[in-house]
Structure 1
Amino acid sequence: MKKSLIALAVLAASGAAMAQSSVTVFGVVDEAVQHVSNSGAGNSVTRLVSGGLSTSRIGFRGVEDLGGGLKAGFWLEAGIAADTGEGNVSGGAGSGLEFKRRATVSLLGNFGEVRLGRDFLASYNTLSSYDPFGDNGIGAIGFIYNRANPTGSTSGNGTFENRKGNTIAYFLPSNLGGFFGQAQIIMGEQTTGPKGNGFSIAGGYANGPLSVSGGYTKLYEGHAPTNKTVGNTADADSYNIGASYDFGVAKAMFVWNEEKLKVPTEVKFSSYLVGLTAPVGNGVAKISYQDLDNKTSGFNGNDASKFSVGYVYNLSKRTALYGTVAHISNDGGAAISLAGTAAAGKNSTGYEFGLRHSF
């Protein structure tokens, strides 16, 4: 009898603890067969890739109720290159698992949320929110942002990557009638040389079928690329606006983005995306057109565009089959490829078919 009472007391205490806090393990495993051919360059690639529909990942998140409407939360999320089993850091495979997709701790309440750690740039959320492909796979909106190279021949090298470490962010509360906003400080932490500081802001309105938002990021010395044709201590600016409207039978999307690097000769790119998603059968059809305009003096003709179409077939709420076809047209000296090496002014065409499971 005594043991039973003790057991009941333990269970009751455990239940009380669980009512106050929760921890969730979550993740995605996504793999696809991809083929890309680059005209004029004499190369093509067929491979298994990770993250054609959603980035493969594993994470842990939790919330503790502190009482009085105040909560504490944490989020640790690591990317996985599911095709090799390696860790994946914002697209680059490494030898170990690192929580570089997100590593934050938060305080939440009626005032909103204060969040510390590594997270998305505030302005990046505008780009990904209005991309039919969610910035994943060969149809991704990544084609039109992060353009560090003034020639426009490559995709750049990290000035406006979608995440930053050492950030302090504030989010508006969610009860503002559809209005939302975020302000984020980026702390470089260097003691000498370029400090690498910056900030990012974003805000908008989402209610019913309409969503519209915009963002701005300013990166000071130390954030600009290591590309020596640009210099590695240049300031950088990024502006974007996006909108979508759900008509029921289809959802229309639009994004405009501009990036500048302040060097002796300013490097500047302007770009836009128009897209559409529509429920078809037991899945969703996707289509997008992206245009990249190189406005850098002396490189104005190095432009490119990308057309993508895809379909996701839902086998269940957590499992889906998908396929995407994409085509890049390069002009002038631009040589942007879906994979492999493209020739200047030539095309890059590819497809991928894959399977995604979330848990």
Structure 2
Amino acid sequence: MKKSLIALAVLAASGAAMAQSSVTLFGIVDTGVSYVNNATGNDSSKYGVGTSGNATSRLGLRGTEDLGGGLKAGFWLEGEIFGDTGNAKGFDFKRESTVRLSGNFGEVRLGRETTPTFRAGLKYDLFGATGIGQFMGYKDWAGTGLADGNTIRKDNMLSYSSPNFSGFTANISYAFDEKANQATLGGNGGRYVGGNVGYDNGPLSVTAAYGTLSYGNVGDRDEMSIGASYNFGVAKVVGLAQQVKYKPEVGSSAKFNNYMLGVSAPVGGVGEVKAQYAYYDQKGNDTKAQQLSLGYVHNLSKRTALYGTVAYMKNNKNSNLGLQAKGVNDGSLSALGKNQTGVQVGIRHAF
């Protein structure tokens, strides 16, 4: 009898613990057809089935456990899916792999995730940092080849996010320079320190960010930005100004000033039309480029949408920026001074 009572107590305690925990499977599958002209040095075009034209395709698991007293533990594992090839190179959790602890003090996260400088800009890119329409200020402008040299994500990061104080929030992150990086880069190679502060209240949003990435004995990359948006109801206006500055140990520094302005508007309660202009003042390369992107998203339901995007990249004689059509024109640059036009149409489904 006593053993039965103990077993029942254990089962009851286990049930209570399970009731306070949750794990969610989530994801997005976004696949479409893309076309980009002047995609190679001989002026030929690229076209075919690609992925992530409107939103980055992904598969993830996230979970939380209520520890009581307002304290929660959780995790987030997320990897990219390639609907055009079925992840021929395998699946990983490089989009995010964190464990976290949150409470009245805010939230602490450990692992690989997006940097606070990239998250600040992502809030104002109408094309969500994907597809041919995306703002391209977040890239490895100096071509250093360092892993995560675009500072979009970093490994080995410790992050803190503050609570929301009447619309005001702050984030700060530190990515450790581990021995593997020190061996190849020297010094503090691979170390990242960055943060952002923002105000989001009603229709107004403003965010400022700063971060620095060390290339060890080679030098540093400093990045700063300020972005804002205002939703008028009939339309939403966004803007962003960003500077990326490379400071080598030997030689002069190189600046890349990037600007973006956009507007989006709802259409008939089921769609959204958006237009975005970006100007890339590549002082470090003594050249410039301009990008105009137009897009429309038609929601078939809360989870499924059809989309179409047209973009034009105008390169000056020493610029070779290329429109990003994942799976068709992956990271490819145009020939120097060549302009590009791209078109994407596809379907996005979230679950």
TM-score, structure 2 normalization:
0.88
Q: Does 1:348 align with 2:349?
A: no
Q: Which amino acid aligns with 1:111?
A: F
* Identical residues among aligned pairs (%): 48
Residue in 1 aligned with 2:158? 168
Structure 2: distance between partners of 1:276 and 1:289: 9
Contact map agreement 1:148 1:155 (CA 8 A) in 2:
no
Select 1:203's aligned residue among 186, 194, 197. 197
Alpha-carbon distance, 1:233 to partner: 2.5
Q: How many residues of Structure 1 are paired with residues of Structure 2 in the alignment?
A: 331
Q: Does 1:248 align with 2:233?
A: yes
Residue in 2 aligned with 1:145? 138
Residue in 2 aligned with 1:315? 300
Contact map agreement 1:312 1:322 (CA 8 A) in 2:
yes
Q: Which amino acid aligns with 1:26?
A: F
Residue in 1 aligned with 2:47? 46
Q: Pairwise mapping of residues 292-303 of structure 1 onto structure 2 (< 5 A)?
A: 292-296=280-284, 299-300=285-286, 302-303=287-288
Q: Which amino acid aligns with 2:27?
A: G
Structure 1: distance between partners of 2:111 and 2:46: 37
Q: Pairwise mapping of residues 1-359 of structure 1 onto structure 2 (< 5 A)?
A: 15-38=15-38, 41-86=42-87, 95-141=89-135, 143-149=136-142, 158-174=148-164, 176-190=165-179, 192=183, 193-195=186-188, 196-222=190-216, 233-263=218-248, 264-281=251-268, 282-296=270-284, 299-300=285-286, 302-338=287-323, 339=329, 340-359=332-351
Contact map agreement 1:147 1:259 (CA 8 A) in 2:
no
Tell me the SS of whatever aligns to 2:45.
strand
Tell me the SS of whatever aligns to 1:38.
coil
Structure 2: distance between partners of 1:336 and 1:357: 30
Structure 2: runs of 5 or more not aligned: 324-328
**CA separation of 1:237/1:66 partners in 2, compared to 1, >3 Å: closer, same or farther?**
same
Q: Which amino acid aligns with 1:285?
A: V
Alpha-carbon distance, 1:16 to partner: 2.2
Alpha-carbon distance, 1:265 to partner: 2.3
Alpha-carbon distance, 1:314 to partner: 0.4
Per-residue CA deviation, residues 108-157 of structure 1 (Å, 9 max, x unaligned), is 0000011111011111111110011111110011x22324238xxx9998
Per-residue CA deviation, residues 152-192 of structure 1 (Å, 9 max, x unaligned), is xx999852231101000111013x10001101111021254
Per-residue CA deviation, residues 297-355 of structure 1 (Å, 9 max, x unaligned), is xx32x110100000000010000000000000001211112235522222100100000
Tell me the SS of whatever aligns to 2:221.
strand
Alpha-carbon distance, 1:17 to partner: 2.8
Tell me the SS of whatever aligns to 2:98.
strand
**CA separation of 1:334/1:270 partners in 2, compared to 1, >3 Å: closer, same or farther?**
same
Q: Which amino acid aligns with 1:355?
A: I
Contact map agreement 1:204 1:213 (CA 8 A) in 2:
yes
Alpha-carbon distance, 1:52 to partner: 0.6
Structure 1: distance between partners of 2:302 and 2:231: 21
Per-residue CA deviation, residues 45-104 of structure 1 (Å, 9 max, x unaligned), is 0111111111111100000011111110100001111111117xxxxxxx2211110000
**CA separation of 1:345/1:272 partners in 2, compared to 1, >3 Å: closer, same or farther?**
same
Contact map agreement 1:239 1:259 (CA 8 A) in 2:
yes
Structure 1: distance between partners of 2:294 and 2:306: 15
Structure 2: distance between partners of 1:164 and 1:137: 22
Structure 1: distance between partners of 2:112 and 2:147: 19
Per-residue CA deviation, residues 7-55 of structure 1 (Å, 9 max, x unaligned), is 9989866652332110001011110100010188421001111111111
Structure 2: distance between partners of 1:268 and 1:155: 18
Name segments (4+ residues, structure 1) moved above 3 Å.
5-15, 154-158
Structure 1: runs of 5 or more not aligned: 88-94, 223-231
Structure 2: distance between partners of 1:108 and 1:158: 27
Structure 2: distance between partners of 1:156 and 1:197: 11
Structure 2: distance between partners of 1:269 and 1:104: 31
TM-score, structure 1 normalization:
0.86
Q: Which amino acid aligns with 1:310?
A: G
Residue in 1 aligned with 2:326? none
Tell me the SS of whatever aligns to 1:274.
strand
Structure 1: distance between partners of 2:197 and 2:108: 16
**CA separation of 1:351/1:6 partners in 2, compared to 1, >3 Å: closer, same or farther?**
farther
Tell me the SS of whatever aligns to 1:286.
strand
Q: Which amino acid aligns with 1:219?
A: L
Structure 2: distance between partners of 1:11 and 1:348: 64
Tell me the SS of whatever aligns to 1:86.
coil
